[in-house]
Every structure is written in C-alpha cells, then in structure tokens.
Amino acid sequence: MTTSQYIRTTLKDFSPTSQKINLSNANVGISTRLFKAKDHDGNKFKAYDFSDRIMLEVAANTSLLFAINLPNYIFGATNRQEPNIYINHPKDKNVMFCVDFIRQEIKDINLRSNEAIFVYSNAIQLLLDKARGLIKEIKLLQQIKLIIEHNFPGAIAIIDISKIPEDFKNLLPFIKEWAISDDQERSDKIKRTSKAKLQKLRDTIGPKLNLIDKYLDTFENKPMHYEATLIGNLGELGAELKLNGKSSL
C-alpha cells in the first residue's frame, strides 16, 4: 500500500479530498499529494504525502516559531534548548513556557526519532512516520492548536502595501475579500457570488496568473511573508475560475 493509499484508507471516515502537488519542503523532501478534510468536530486539517512520512497540518495564529524533536530549517529553528526543543533565538523564553503547556500532548503523541512538531505563526504541523494511525494524532494536533492559540495568540494581520509588488497593486481591492486559503471555503463563496462579479475577478486576476507563479517561485524554500501568501491565494482563485470556465461564471 502506498502512503497516499494509506492516508485515504485511514481517513476515509472524514471523506478527504485530494489533489496532486509538487511541494518541496526543506525539512522533509517533496510531497506529491495533498489531502484535505474535517474531523468529526468540524475542524479542518490537511495531510501531505511524503515519500517516507506523513505531514498533518492545521491552520493557526500564534506569535511563536519553534520545533520539537527535529530542527526546522525553513525558519531557522536550529538552536537546541532542552532536549529536542529547537528555537530561533536562545533567549525566547515564551517557547519554553508554551512547551510546558502542551507537555502532556507531546507525551501522548510519543514522537519517534524521525517525527516532529513544527509551530509556525500561521500553521502547526505534525510530521509522522507513515505507519502511524493518524486519528488520535489529528485530535492531539487540534488540542495543541487550541492551547497555543489561547495562550500565545498572534497579532492581527495588517497588510503592508509596500510588500505588494507593483505588478499586483491592482489586486489590492480584492485581497481583503477574496484572498481565501481554504479551497472549500473559496468554492462556496464562488457559488454565492454573482456572475458579473466573478467575471470581473476573472478578467482582473486571470492575466496575472503567470506573474503570480513566477513571483511565488522566487521564495523557493524560504517562508513567504503574509502579503505573498495573500497573492498566492488570489492566484488559486484565478486558477479555479479559469478551470471552471463558463460553468463557474
């Protein structure tokens, strides 16, 4: 059984959707398939198929950046503190406070030598051996998210217009309403929107798709800043409108 087949079978009760991708991750390697689903409480999560491991991910909003069990090379969490805790700056005491809050969940996950927890400002990832059961782990990941967001919330994101390249300045009026990262939420919004408004979106974003792809490629393995992720979300919207064609419009 391939890793993708294992994910699909293990998560069948969550009715996951999937798509082929080619995602390069400095910590793990290349992922070829992405699964999206909701748990039984309605919480959204993603599962990435890597060659030897599975990455579970939930969206989050926190002020912290750190890794547990393995260093994170994407944002430079390579300073090792107490055993298996990696941070950017050795004096970041909030990380150690946070680890104390989630110590029971970490213990319950019982990370193996090739597994890790990666905490970003906008997501929390659980890297697992491909032989894991996943169901219990998804629940623990959601618990970790709730604890971290409650105790170490991130700042309210404010768009820095200076970080928007000139080629995309005409997209600013659409960013607040349409820079939606979740595929299902975006599709639902498309269905509720008038044909005239969707046509305007298509006419504005469509000609920029190649430029957006080239712009996002400049980040390579480096983390994208907030404004770049918004531009990427609009690119996904434009691609979906283009793919659906007249059926969406």
Integer Cα distance of 141 and 92 in angstroms: 23
Alpha helices by DSSP H, listed for the chain, are 3-10, 93-101, 103-109, 135-151, 172-178, 183-192, 195-205, 209-217, 226-244
CATH of span 3-151:
3.30.1460
What pLDDT, in 10s, does the model give residues 181-215? 777 678 888 888 998 999 999 999 999 999 999 99
DSSP string, 2-21: -HHHHHHHHTGGG--EEEEE
Domain boundaries, the chain: 3-151, 161-247
What pLDDT, in 10s, does the model give residues 65-110? 999 999 999 888 888 887 799 998 766 788 989 999 999 999 999 9
| Residue 157, pLDDT score | 67
pTM > 0.85: no
